[in-house]
Amino acid sequence: MDQIETTASAQDSRYRKVPATCKVCLGTCGTILTLDDNDRIVGIAPDKEHPLTRGYACFKGLQTDLYSRPDRLLHPLKRMPDGSFQQISAEQALDEIAQKLSDLLTSDGPDAIAGYYGTGTMGNVLSAPVLRSWMQAIGSQALFSSMTIDQPAKWVTPERLGAWHAGKHRLPDSDVFLIGGSNPVTSHLLYGGLFANPLAELKAAKERGMKLIVIDPRRSETSHYADIALQPFPGEDTTVVAGLIRIILTERWEDRPFCDDYVQGLDALRAGVDPFTPAYVEKRAGVPADQLHAAARMFAKEARRGAAYTGTGPNMAPHANLAEHLYEVLNVICGRFNRAGDPVINPGVLVPRTALRAEVTAPSRSWETGKKSRVRNVGMLAGEMMSPVLPDEILAPGPGNIRSLFVLASNPASAFPDPPKVIEALKALDLLVVIDPNFSTTARFAHYILPPKLNYEMATIPDYETFRYFQPYSQYSPGPARPPAGSAVLDEHYIFWALAKRLGKQMQFNGASLDMTQAPSVDDMLDIMTRDAQIPLSEVRKYPHGHIFAVAPQCVEPATNDARFAVFPDDVGIELGEVAAESFDEKGRKVEHGTAFTHRLTCRRMRNVMNSVTYLPATRKRHPFNAAFVHPADLAALDVKSGAEIEITSAHGTITGIAMPDDRLKPGTVSMTHGFGGLPEDHTPVHNGGANVATLISLEKNLDNITAMPRLSAIPVNLRKK
């Protein structure tokens, strides 16, 4: 665990200590709040009695300044004609916003009103589902989220390949675990597991003999524990995983009976991966053939249980959907799924019990049939539009353009590529409402800023339990802290309820009609949310530190259909063919825009910073900038010293970074965190604020066909000494 810099030093008897859960990231660490006699947070410490995290917590979660720093926004603000912001009452802000929305509904219809929610919704279990309900109530389909500039391949792949209804093997009962381009030890996020206390989970699995394979151009905090760490050039996951599939099929290590029963297209797959011989993978991706073979053997031959999981690395690099598809094909051909009779690892606590069957959910390709965007003709996924087209959906002339945007717990001005274009779009809106505790880079362009109550200040429960936890854990926190005296911070669900009421719209929530005459409290909403719970919320409330509940065991049920995985549909075949046809030099570098760029800039998260939440004083002190990590040999070749400024140029833009040597990187890689650097107009000094990686990325070129996902990793760049 981090060296804990707890702020809870006060032993004063006026202070009381209350258990709660941190929601700064998805790690769900149990915390102990120290509250003063006004119930203000004066300290946060790890909770040793928490059943999952048992005293583990990190620097981010132990800082009080998110809640109590002097410049936290505490009152609704309205932008005046001269550009200044003026404090107004919440009800006046809601009246004015509702009037504008009502006019837009009449003049342009509901799809002119968009919502975009982001990672700050982790802090409030109600906010994303309430935004969704509100959008439905007003009849707008213009819902966007950070998922579609993060890992939309995780929504495409189950709909293109098919998905196993009972899920894939998970960490606690696996003999092998393969992680492609995720670093959960730092990020506390691996889709399908490794959120709470990830290092302890990983170590426990290793102690009982599980083997770990990691594919990452960087020797990360996670690959430190790998039995085999493959270090390819960035953006070469398609090559590497096609190579693994080829070895498995050639050696006949696949699960034959499973493939016979559940797979279609195996011969086409075999032919499609044929060019990806071990020698080719070595030459192109820089992974030695014997290591590739050893990884294939460890995964497919020497283990019976255990699956491949991926993160932002391959999902943000070029060919993201293809890479995700191939990683999942590894699981399919090896049959790494829960079968009829297998125990379900976590049946859930506050969620209803749902049957899990040993069958394929057939491919559905919903993006091909639903509403299409006016720009780039991309479709919808999981009921959402694709965020990379949001700026153009605002800017492209009407009819049908987006004229109003609600930015909920997100920060597109810093999170999207191409800041000048995003700013132009935000400025073009008739109504921009930002719900954020910070005067963020996006909030600057808002017509109204509505500051929310934060975690610890309202009741809460864990969400996505079955996906996130390996045990039936739950916890209710009453939200014991109070926001600063005199503040007018709002419950996020109230904002949307109050607007629906003013517009005369009826909201539904978890299948129930909300009472539109009297505002529901957070607890009312949680009661509705958990009305089909396996353990009633009233029971969960009895365990303030959280609890592992004795829910009735559940087993996977037999199939009720005969659907099959489509392992090699035509569009996958075409794209893999295109990859095989790409030319490259001896460092795996493709020639682009007539230039062979010397390096690839990759994404990475910092342990102590959450995306663009770089503004907290304690964080800023520790991390005044985002370093540009480069292999020492590359720095020596450029004659750049550690800590010196370095110019990084892509086909789209140029930034200045601060060079830091890191010999854990594959040479040819620049590893850099996003979210820093402010906006171009700020001219942020690089030593005090960092550099904005988004400047290097285009929102118009190199977009994915299905999702319009730009490439946020493996970006070709050149480096120059400044």
Q: How far is the CB of 25 from ligand SF4 (least distance, A)?
A: 3
Rg (CA), the chain: 25
Q: Which is nearer to ligand SF4, 462 or 668 (CB)?
A: 462
User: What is the distance between the alpha carbons of residues 210 and 229, in angstroms, rounded to a whole number?
Assistant: 15
Q: How far apart are CA 422 and CA 415, in angstroms?
A: 10
Among 410, 466, 650, 707, the residue binding ligand MGD under the rule CB under 6 A is: 410
Distance between CA atoms of 105 and 117, rounded to whole angstroms? 21
623 C-beta neighbours (distance < 10 Å), count: 18
Among 31, 133, 186, 619, which residue sits at the site for ligand MGD (rule: CB under 6 A)? 186
In this chain, which stretch among 398-406, 424-432, 514-522, 605-613 interacts with ligand MGD, using CB under 6 A?
A: 605-613
Which DSSP category does 653 fall into? -
Q: Which of 229, 481, 640, 693 binds ligand MGD (CB under 6 A)?
A: 693
Does residue 342 interact with Mo ion by CB under 5 A? Answer: no
Instruction: Report which DSSP code applies to 652.
Output: S
- Residue 200 buriedness (CB in 10 A; 0-12 / 13-18 / 19+): middle
In 3D space, the residue among 320, 327, 241, 317 whose CA is nearest the CA of residue 600 turns out to be 317
- Residue 180 binds ligand MGD, judged by CB under 6 A: yes
Nearer to Mo ion, 150 or 255 (CB): 150
Shortest spacing between CB 492 and ligand MGD, in angstroms: 6
Name the residues that contact ligand SF4, by CB under 6 A: 22, 24-25, 27-29, 57-58, 60-61, 188
Q: Rule CB under 6 A: say whether 235 interacts with ligand MGD.
A: yes
Told to check if 414 binds ligand MGD by CB under 6 A, we report: yes
Give all strands (DSSP E) within 518-598, no chain letters: 547-548, 565-566
Nearer to ligand SF4, 28 or 183 (CB): 28
Rounded to a whole number of angstroms, the minimum distance from the CB of residue 45 to ligand SF4 is 10
Among the listed ranges 106-114, 368-376, 546-554, 669-677, the one in contact with ligand MGD (CB under 6 A) is 669-677
Which listed residue (440, 460, 477, 695) binds ligand MGD by CB under 6 A? 440
Residue from 69, 607, 664, 720 touching ligand MGD (CB under 6 A): that is 607
Using the 8-state DSSP alphabet, how is residue 403 labeled?
-
Task: Convert residues 138-157 into a mask of x (bound to ligand MGD by CB under 6 A) and - (unbound).
Answer: --------x--xx-------
8 A C-beta contact, residue 482 and residue 63: no
| Cβ at position 188, least distance to ligand SF4 in Å | 5
Q: How far is the CB of 491 from ligand MGD (least distance, A)?
A: 11
Which span (371-379, 392-400, 429-437, 531-539) binds ligand MGD, by CB under 6 A? Answer: 429-437
The residue at minimum Cβ distance from ligand SF4 is: 61
Stretch that binds Mo ion, among 149-157, 329-337, 348-356, 474-482 (CB under 5 A): 149-157
**Residues facing 228 on adjacent strands:** 213
H helix runs in 506-568, sequence order: 522-529, 537-540
Encode burial over 548-568: b for 16+ CB neighbours within 10 A, e otherwise.
ebebeebebbebeeebbbbbb
CB of 537 to ligand MGD, least distance (A): 21
In angstroms, the CA 213 to CA 172 distance is 16
Rounded to whole angstroms, how far apart are CA atoms 449 and 73?
9
198 binds ligand MGD (CB under 6 A): no
The residue among 61 and 668 lying less far from ligand SF4, judged by its C-beta, is: 61
Joined tokens for residue 485: 């005296």
**What is the smallest separation between the CB atom of 460 and ligand SF4, expressed in angstroms?**
13
Query: Quick one: CA dihedral 121, 124, 127, 128, positive or negative?
Result: positive
- Quickly count: other Cβ atoms within 10 Å of residue 663's Cβ: 10
Residue closer to Mo ion by CB (options 150, 201) is 150
Who contacts 109 (Cβ-Cβ below 8 Å, separation ≥6)? Answer: none
Q: CB 526 → ligand SF4: shortest distance, Å?
A: 20
Question: Min. distance of Cβ 675 from ligand MGD in angstroms?
Answer: 5
Secondary structure of residue 663 in the 3-state scheme: coil
Q: Does 201 bind Mo ion (CB under 5 A)?
A: no
Which value, to the nearest 10 degrees, does the dihedral of the CA atoms of residues 588, 594, 597, 601 take? -90
Contact assessment for residue 409 and residue 120, using Cβ atoms and an 8 Å cutoff:
yes
Best CA proximity match to 322, nearest among 564, 146, 149, 579? 579
Q: Decide if residue 150 touches Mo ion (CB under 5 A).
A: yes
661: β partners? 630
Token representation of residue 20? 């709660």
Which positions touch ligand MGD (CB under 6 A)?
Answer: 25, 118-120, 123-124, 146, 149-150, 180-184, 186-189, 215-218, 220, 234-235, 237, 311-314, 316-317, 409-412, 414-415, 435-438, 440, 452, 454-455, 602-607, 609-613, 671, 674-675, 693-694, 697, 712-714
Which positions touch Mo ion (CB under 5 A)?
Answer: 150
